[in-house]
Amino acid sequence: MTADAAELEVLADLLRQRVAEGRYGEVPGALRTYCHALRKTVAGLPRGDPRLVSFEEQWRRLAEHTRRGLLAGRAHAGARLARLAQTPHGSPLYGCGDPPPRRTWEYSA
């Protein structure tokens, strides 16, 4: 594995990690960084180099993984919002309604 390929793998892992952790705001920056490094690596290869096919396949797999992760995150957020909308508005979990009874060990002022 060349230094360029190793760098691309590290950047791809960072992108996968951002998606897996749900850090969607950081995904575009990580994707831009990966794409910039990929363009630079591919531009340095001679025409007909067999590694071009390998880099293209890696890019397709990474793009599909990222797309699926973002779609899953969007679906999960939508489901959470739907559940939140069904929560009664007087729920003490969200600071509405009567507070829960105090325990004897809690300070009451």
| 27, pLDDT greater than 60 | yes
Tens digit of each residue's pLDDT (9 = 90 or more) over 46-91: 999 999 999 999 999 999 999 999 999 989 888 888 888 777 655 5
What DSSP string describes 42-70?
HHTSPTT-THHHHHHHHHHHHHHHHHHHH
- Total-model pTM: 0.70
What local confidence, expressed as pLDDT, does residue 20 receive?
93
Q: What is the residue extent of each domain of the chain?
A: 3-86
Query: Which residue bears the tokens 């749900």?
Result: 22
Number of helices followed by number of strands (H, E) in the chain? 3, 0
Mean of the per-residue pLDDT values for the chain?
Answer: 85
| 1, pLDDT greater than 90 | no
What local confidence, expressed as pLDDT, does residue 98 receive?
64
